[in-house]
Every structure is written in C-alpha cells, then in structure tokens.
Amino acid sequence: MANNKNIKKIIAVKKINLSKNYLKDAKTLLNKAGIDQEASRYIDGKIVSEASKKAYLSALEALKALFIAKEKIDSNFLKKKIKNISIYNKILTELDIGEDKDFLLNLLKSVYDILYLGNYYRVLQDKKSIDSGFEKVEKIIKIAEKYVK
C-alpha cells in the first residue's frame, strides 16, 4: 500500500512540474505579444490567446496534482483532457483542505473567466486583466504544491 502512495506522490509531483512548465511557456509566449504602453494592452491577440490557453491548462494540471495527492482522481481521469470547469469545481468542493478550498474555487473561476473565456475565446487584450489571470494561476500552483510535497 505504501508503494501505491509513493507512486501517486511521484505522479502528483510530475503534474506540478508540468503545470509550472506550462506557465513558464505561457509567460514566454505572452512576452512575444508586445505591449502598447499607452493603451495598456497586449498587441498580438493570437499570441495572447495561445498564452492564455496554456496558462489555463497550467492551472488545471496543478489541480490534478492536488486531486492526486488527496486521492480524489484515478489514472483514467488523468488520461482524459478534461477542460470542463464544472468537473474541477465538483472535485474541489469534495476536498477537505479548509479555507484553501474556497480560495481555490474563487481563483479557478477567475482564471476560467479571465484566461479561458475572456482571452482564449474572446481575445481580450487588456494587460491588467491578463496579468491578473496569470497571477491567479501562480497562486493555484502554490496552493496545490503545498499539498503535494
């Protein structure tokens, strides 16, 4: 049984690292979008859209790491490319992680609204909102990481 727990921990750590890599790649991509300082907006909407999608996926990977650590998902869940926020919300509400649960639910909703709906689908280019979305992804990773380690 201890071996199974070690395997889950290894998988969870790999998911956290993947999440961090996705976010790093998203930031690198976002830097290529260019900034219109006067209008406080990113210039290249296509790059912003791709970077936002990658950052959103980063948040989902971090949550998967948390779910693995808390034994809320199995390997079948990991194999699927689930992007539906309601599934993540449902699993989050089942977690026993104190006030972090509500904080994560709020962060996830904001990341979904800002990065996934706003920037990936609608290609909003407002610098403040995008940067805020990226900061929220970093917070999700940080919270998930404390339960994985």
**What's this model's pTM, rounded to 2 decimal places?**
0.93
* Tens-place pLDDT, residues 55-103: 999 999 999 999 999 989 877 777 777 778 999 999 999 999 999 999 9
With a cut of 70, say whether residue 1 has pLDDT above it: no
**Left, alpha or beta for 71 (phi > 0: left; psi -120 to 50: alpha)?**
left
Q: What ranges do the domains of the chain cover?
A: 2-148
In the CATH scheme, what is the code of domain 2-148?
1.20.120.330
* Tens-place pLDDT, residues 4-63: 778 888 999 999 999 999 999 999 999 999 999 999 999 999 999 999 999 999 999 999
